Amino acid sequence: MLPKLILICCLAVITSGSIPRPRGVADSNASHYQPNSENVFVCIDGSQSFPYTYVNDDYCDCADGSDEPGTSACPNGKFTCTNIGHRPLIVPASRVNDGVCDCCDGTDEYSGNIACVNTCNELGKKHKEEVERIMKLQEEGVRKKKEFAESGKKMKEEKKARLEQLQADREAAETERQEMEAKKDEAEAPEKEAKDRHQKAWDEEKARRSAEKDAAAGMTAFNELDSNNDNFVDVLEMVVHNEFDIDSNGVVSEEEAKEHLEEVEKVDQDTFVSKIWPNVKQIYKPLVPEEAQSDGEASPPAEPQGETATPPTPETPTQDDSDEKMPDYDDETKVLIEAADVARNSFNAADEKLKSIDREISSLQSYMNLDFGNEEEFSVLKDQCFEYTDREYTYKLCVYERASQRPKSGGSETSLGTWGRWSGPENDRYSSQLYERGQNCWNGPDRSVKVHFKCGPENQLTNAYEPSRCEYAFDFITPVSCSGKVSPLDTHAHDEL
C-alpha cells in the first residue's frame, strides 16, 4: 500500500449532478458520501468516523471497507461500476487497478496501466434487446396463460356440472337397479323351481335307466356264468373265473366262490341280479371264449384285488348314462326361463349403467382433486404426453399421470414414477412437480422424477437428465409458467459482465 499522504492527491470524485460522489460509490449509497458541515465521513456501519479526506485515500480505515469504495485498500471493499449506457455492477474492490477491465466503462482501471475500452453502450444495447426479447416472450406467454386459465376454469365448471348431474342420476340409477334386481329375483324363483323339477325328473330317469342297464348286465353275466344252463349259478361255475380269487393265490377255491355267492351253493337269476351282482359287478370279467384268444394261451390270471389295486374296467357296460343329454325343458319352463332372461338382461343393463356412472364420478372426482394452479392454468397439460430423446433414451412425460424411459435401441419401457404432487418451494409452489414410486432401482431407491417448469412459448419437454442414480430431472417449458416479469436470472447468461 502506498503512503497515505502521497495518495491523497489522487482522491478522485465522480460527479453526479451537483453532488460530488467519490469513485466506486453505488447510487444507493450516495447519501453516505455527502461531506457534512464538519467534513467528517461516518463508516456505513456507523462504527467509526474520520475526516472526509480519508475516503478513497487508499488506506483502509473503516472495518466495513466503506471508506475505500474506489480503491483496493480494503479487503472487503466493494467497487461499483457506474456503467452508464448499461447497468451498474458491483465488483470486489480488490479488482480495482488490477490490470483487468471489469467494468464495461473501464472505471475500475484508472491507474493508467491499462486502457479500457468503454463497451457499455454496446452491451447496454444487447442487454436491452435481450430484455425486450424475454419481455415479449413473457408477455406472449402470459397472454397464452390467460387463455389456458380461462379454458381450465371452464373445464372445471363443466366437470363440476357433470359431476352434479351424475350424482343426481346416480340415485335414479340405483333405484332402477334395485327394482330390476327385485324383478330378477321374482322371475328367477319360479324359473329355478321349474329347472330343479326338470333336473330332478331327469336324475330319476337316469337312475332308472342305469338300474335297468345294470339289471340287464347282471342277467347277461348270470347267463354267462350259468355255463350248464340249469338257471342257477353255482360254486363250480364261479371257480373258473380268476377274478373271484380273494386271496390272490392264483386259484379260486370253492370257499371263495361261495363267499361271493353270499354263503349259498347256488343262486337263481333273480337272486343273482338283486343280491350277488351289485357286489361282483366291479370285478366280474366274462370268460373269453377259447377261439377268441389270439394265440390259444389261457387268459392271464386275474389281477390281485388288493385295496390299492386299480379296479378292472368292467367290459359289460354298467356305468350309467350320465353323459346322455338332458331333454329340453318343457314349454312351461321355457317360458319361465325366457321371462327370467328378460329380467336378468334388464338387471344387467341397470347394473352396468350404475357402474358406469360410478366410474365416471370417480374419474371426475380425481380430476376435481387435482391442483391445476391458482388460475386452473395447468389444466391444459392434463392428458397430454411429451417426449424428449437424448443419446440413449426417449423420456416421456404424461402430465399428471406418469413418467417413463425407453431405450432408443429397443427394449421395454421403465416407469420413472407416477403423479405425486407439486414440489416447488413454498413461495414458488408451481415451479416443479414430483413423479414418484417408479420402478425400483437395483440397490437403490424407487425411480422418481422432478419436473422443473419454466416460461416458454410452447408446451415442450426440453431436457431430461439423471442428477443422481435413478433420480431424474426434466425441464419443461410452458406459457403457463410465464409471470410477465423478467428475472435477472433470465438475462444473466447473456450478460458479459
**Residue number, 119 or 405, with CB nearest to ligand MAN:** 405
Residue with cell 338387471: 347
Tell me the closest approach of the beta carbon of residue 478 to ligand MAN, in angstroms: 25
Query: Of 442 and 488, which has the nearer Cβ to ligand MAN?
Result: 442
Region 446-475 residues binding ligand MAN, contact defined as CB under 6 A: 466, 469-470
- For residue 431, the minimal CB distance to ligand MAN (Å) is 24
Q: Which residues contact 398 (CB under 8 A, 6 or more apart)?
A: 383, 384, 385, 386
Binding ligand MAN (rule: CB under 6 A), the pick from 15, 112, 310, 442 is: 442
As measured in angstroms, the least distance from the Cβ of 407 to ligand MAN is 8
**In 3D, which of 364, 222, 356 has the Cα closest to residue 281?**
222
Q: Where are the alpha helices (DSSP H) in 281-434?
A: 331-369
* Secondary structure (3-state) at 48: coil
Out of 119, 242, 405, 433, name the contact with ligand MAN by CB under 6 A. 405
Taking the complex as a whole, how short is the minimal distance between the CB of residue 448 and ligand MAN, in angstroms?
12
Decide: 16 and 64 in contact? Cβ < 8 Å. no
Residue closer to ligand MAN by CB (options 351, 466) is 466
Sequence length of the chain is 497
Closest approach, Cβ 412 to ligand MAN, in A, equals 11
As a whole number of angstroms, the distance between CA 423 and CA 417 comes to 14
Q: What is the DSSP letter of 272?
A: I
Least Å distance between CB 438 and ligand MAN?
9
Nearer Cβ to ligand MAN (191/471): 471
Distance CA 257, CA 260 (A): 5
CA-CA-CA-CA torsion for 27, 31, 32, 36, nearest 10 degrees?
150
Q: Are 71 and 12 in contact (CB under 8 A)?
A: no
Cα–chain center distance at 94 = 56
Dihedral sign, Cα of residue 486, residue 489, residue 490, residue 493: positive
Give the span between the Cα atoms of 316 and 329, in whole angstroms. 32
The answer to whether residues 195 and 338 touch, using CB atoms and an 8 Å cutoff, is no
Give 221 or 403: the residue with its C-beta nearer to ligand MAN. Answer: 403
Shortest reach from residue 399's CB to ligand MAN, in Å:
21
Residue given cell 467534513 in the structure block:
39
DSSP string, 362-412: HHHHHHHHS---TTSGGGGGTT-EEEEE-SSEEEEEETTTEEEEEETTS--
Judged by beta carbon, residue 230 or residue 465, the one nearer ligand MAN is 465
Smallest distance from ligand MAN to CB 474, Å: 13
CB of residue 435 vs ligand MAN: minimum separation in angstroms?
A: 14
Task: Figure out which of the listed residues 441, 473, 486, 497 binds ligand MAN, where binding follows CB under 6 A.
Answer: 441
Chain positions 167 to 226 lying near ligand MAN, rule: CB under 6 A, are none
Q: How far is the CB of 470 from ligand MAN (least distance, A)?
A: 5
Q: Give whichever of 434 and 441 is closer to ligand MAN, judged by the CB atom.
A: 441
Nearer to ligand MAN, 30 or 473 (CB): 473
In this complex, which beta carbon is closest to ligand MAN, that of residue 43 or of residue 470?
Answer: 470
- Kindly state the number of chain residues that form the binding site for ligand MAN, as judged by CB under 6 A: 7
Distance CA 323, CA 434 (A): 63
Mask: binding to ligand MAN, 107-146, rule CB under 6 A, as x and -?
----------------------------------------
Nearer to ligand MAN, 15 or 409 (CB): 409
Q: Give the whole-angstrom CA distance, residue 150 versus residue 480.
A: 12
- Residue type at 31 in one-letter notation: S
Query: How many CB atoms are closer than 10 A to CB 254?
Result: 13
The set of cell numbers assigned to 23 is: 469513485
Nearest approach, Cβ of residue 408 and ligand MAN (Å): 12
Of the pair 243, 475, the CB lying nearest ligand MAN is at 475
Q: Which of 126, 116, 120, 124 is nearest to 96 (CA)?
A: 116
Cβ neighbour number for residue 369 with a 10 Å cutoff: 7
Distance CA(466)–CA(388), nearest Å, equals 13
Evaluated on CA atoms 55, 59, 65, 69, the torsion sign reads: positive
Is 75 strand, coil or helix?
A: coil
Query: What is the footprint of ligand MAN within residues 414-433 (CB under 6 A)?
Result: 414
272 or 472: CB nearest ligand MAN = 472
User: Residue 416: what residue type?
Assistant: L
Give the shortest CB-419-to-ligand MAN separation in angstroms: 19
Contact between 355 and ligand MAN per CB under 6 A:
no
Residues that bind ligand MAN (CB under 6 A): 405, 414, 441-442, 466, 469-470
